[in-house]
Amino acid sequence: MSRLHLIVDADDTLWENNIYFERAFDEFVAYLEHSTLNAEEIRAILDEIELANARAHGYGSLNFGRNLQQCYVKLAEREIGAGDLETVKGFALRILEESLEIIPGVAETLEHLSARHELTLFTKGHVDEQKLKIERSGLGAFFAHTAIVKEKDVAGYRQLVSGRGMDPALTWMIGNSPKSDINPALEAGLNAVFIPHARTWTLERQDLRAPGPGRLLVLRSFEDLQGVF
């Protein structure tokens, strides 16, 4: 096989991420104690807030804390004090203290892939927070290049590929998010490997589409990459 450029997502592809945000949300719902709205309805309102704020503030635990505060102000049925807002923010900040859980088979698979191809880690979020997770993971040594961006869109993929001198026909994006990993990479003319994650964030879900010339593969697990590349 020719030496390929493999671009790899981080959160919920290499390590667990969204499960910690879900736990924080569950704590938020319990603290809010809304009299009529259930968790699903509260989640829908929070999704609207997150979608609007992501354009200006991006992602990560700190921004999630801001979003929870805004949602609390919107939905609270009692007088709001400074202590309430600090408590709500704390649900998000505790995410930063969670231990990093590497998805099974990732380290061994990265070792296999890095011996054969050039690997690039491509992730979005708060720069310092993502750098800390990469450092704590111990996986950074497998990657020839790391890029942390505010948003992973078509322009971002084209800029990454152009800046690194990658041949799109020999470049594959690997990730769990149709919205950020698969669809924009395909639209940018790359190939893509979709590895579903049962707990992918709602706002990262989309129907898979292949508008470009690249190939799309769907695998069950990250380990399955060893049989492809």
163-199 pLDDT tens trace:
999 999 999 999 999 999 999 999 999 999 999 999 9
Give the chain's end-to-end CA distance (angstroms, integer): 8
- Per DSSP, the three-state class of 35 is coil
Q: What is the CATH number of the domain that holds 121?
A: 3.40.50.1000
The answer to whether 176 and 197 are in contact (CB under 8 A) is yes
- Phi (first) and psi of residue 141, to 5 degrees: -65, -20
End position of a domain, from candidates 33, 67, 97? 97
Mean per-residue pLDDT for 208-225? 90
Please indicate, yes or no, whether residues 93 and 125 belong to a single structural domain of this protein.
no
End position of a domain, from candidates 97, 122, 150? 97
Strand partners, 119: 6
Is the pTM higher than 0.85? The answer reads yes
Please indicate, yes or no, whether residues 52 and 119 belong to a single structural domain of this protein.
no
The pLDDT score that the predictor gives to residue 46 is 96
What lies within 8 Å, CB to CB, of 35 at 6+ separation is 77
User: 27-53, pLDDT tens digit by residue?
Assistant: 999 999 999 999 999 999 999 999 889
Structural domain span for residue 22: 18-97
Q: What is the CATH number of the domain that holds 62?
A: 1.10.150
75 token code pair:
């939905």
Question: How many domains does the chain contain in total?
Answer: 2
End position of a domain, from candidates 97, 117, 139? 97
Q: What is the dihedral of CA 58, 59, 62, 65, to 10 degrees?
A: 100
User: 97-121, pLDDT tens digit by residue?
Assistant: 888 999 999 999 999 999 999 999 9
Report in angstroms the alpha-carbon separations of 101 from 20, 37, 97, 104, 146.
Answer: 11, 32, 12, 9, 20
Please indicate, yes or no, whether residues 201 and 108 belong to a single structural domain of this protein.
yes
* Eight-class DSSP state of 32: H
Radius of gyration over every alpha carbon of the chain, rounded to an integer in angstroms? 19
DSSP string over 61-96: HHHHHHHHHHHHHHH-SS---HHHHHHHHHHHHGGG
Please indicate, yes or no, whether residues 130 and 222 belong to a single structural domain of this protein.
yes
Amino acid at 25: F
The answer to whether 195 and 173 are in contact (CB under 8 A) is no
Please indicate, yes or no, whether residues 84 and 133 belong to a single structural domain of this protein.
no
Does the structure show a pLDDT above 80 at 158? Answer: yes
The pLDDT score that the predictor gives to residue 1 is 66
H or E stretch covering 148: strand 145-149
Does the structure show a pLDDT above 80 at 8? Answer: yes
H helical segments located in 165-215:
183-187
Vertex 180: Cα angle to 174 and 185 (nearest 5): 60
H or E stretch covering 146: strand 145-149
* Eight-class DSSP state of 102: B
Does the structure show a pLDDT above 90 at 205? Answer: no
Please indicate, yes or no, whether residues 45 and 118 belong to a single structural domain of this protein.
no
Of the pLDDT bands very low, low, confident and very high (cuts 50, 70, 90), residue 55 is confident
| Count of C-beta atoms within a 10 Å radius of residue 103 | 19
